[in-house]
A and B are shown apart, each in its own frame.
Chain A
Amino acid sequence: SQQGEEDPQALSIQEGENATMNCSYKTSINNLQWYRQNSGRGLVHLILIRSNEREKHSGRLRVTLDTSKKSSSLLITASRAADTASYFCATAGFIQGAQKLVFGQGTRLTINP
């Protein structure tokens, strides 16, 4: 399966600290995306990194991609209570003749005030 696997499954840190989440996948990809989901709500796109890119920034977010290790990481700096949510990586690649976006199981992040 191409499905990404996030690590850790759950992360609890203090406000102001940095949060790092990792994603590993199994097959070649065209891009990797990170999404955020507040409890029971729709997913919100955070950042997309293409297979030929190694690092991307957006505000307090930093994403890295290592295609040789088939892994990516999402770093949230200076965390805030409002960052509490589940974070999912999703990989876009060909599976059974069609390009699909497949999500991992997610990391549940809790920011303690």
Chain B
Amino acid sequence: DSGVTQTPKHLITATGQRVTLRCSPRSGDLSVYWYQQSLDQGLQFLIQYYNGEERAKGNILERFSAQQFPDLHSELNLSSLELGDSALYFCASSVEPAGGAGELFFGEGSRLTVL
């Protein structure tokens, strides 16, 4: 158990809809990362927050947004969903502010299926 909690574990929705994925980081970790894993794109970095502030941005679509709240949990919002958004979305956390300066602890992921 990494200590990172993601909900929901599975989500099935239709094209055009909007979903919210939630992540609670490991106790004491201030950095939260979001990654998307799909069969054809591999593991893609989306965004990182540190103590409530956006720290780094990756290949995140404009239809996607994220935030980190004062209690350090984070939410990833995906809107106007397309079939290609079907993927496993991972949240990870770490202590360090700089992306990847130390090891990341991953949650078990949220599997999104868009029909």
* Chain A interface residues (CB < 8 Å from chain B): 30-31, 33, 35, 40-45, 48, 88, 90-92, 98-106
Complex CA gap A92/B92 in Å reads 15
Of B56, B88, B100, B108, which one neighbours A90 at CB under 8 angstroms? B100
Specify the main secondary structure of chain A where it touches its partner: strand
Complex CA gap A42/B92 in Å reads 9
Q: A92-B99, A102-B45 are in contact. List 15 more A-B contacts (CB 8 A).
A: A41-B109, A42-B2, A42-B107, A42-B109, A45-B104, A90-B100, A91-B100, A98-B55, A99-B101, A100-B56, A100-B100, A101-B45, A102-B58, A103-B45, A106-B42
Complex CA gap A45/B33 in Å reads 15
Of A35, A88, A101, which one neighbours B99 at CB under 8 angstroms? A101
B14 interfacial contact with A, CB 8 Å: no
A103 and B35 contact, CB distance less than 8 A? yes
Of B4, B98, B103, which one neighbours A48 at CB under 8 angstroms? B103
Closest chain B CB from A104 CB (angstroms): 7
A99 and B56 contact, CB distance less than 8 A? yes
- B83-115: CB near A (< 8 Å → 1, else 0) gives 000001010100000111111111111010000
- Tell me how many residues of B have a C-beta within 8 Å of chain A: 28
* Chain B interface residues (CB < 8 Å from chain A): 2, 4, 33, 35, 42-43, 45, 48, 55-58, 88, 90, 92, 98-109, 111
A99 and B100 contact, CB distance less than 8 A? yes
Of B56, B88, B106, which one neighbours A98 at CB under 8 angstroms? B56
Q: List 30 A-B contacts (CB under 8 A).
A: A30-B101, A31-B100, A35-B106, A40-B88, A40-B109, A40-B111, A41-B108, A41-B109, A42-B90, A42-B107, A42-B109, A43-B90, A43-B104, A44-B2, A45-B103, A45-B104, A48-B103, A91-B100, A92-B100, A98-B55, A98-B57, A99-B99, A100-B45, A100-B48, A100-B100, A101-B33, A101-B99, A101-B100, A101-B104, A106-B43
Given contacts A41-B108, A45-B104, contact A100 B43 (CB under 8 A): no
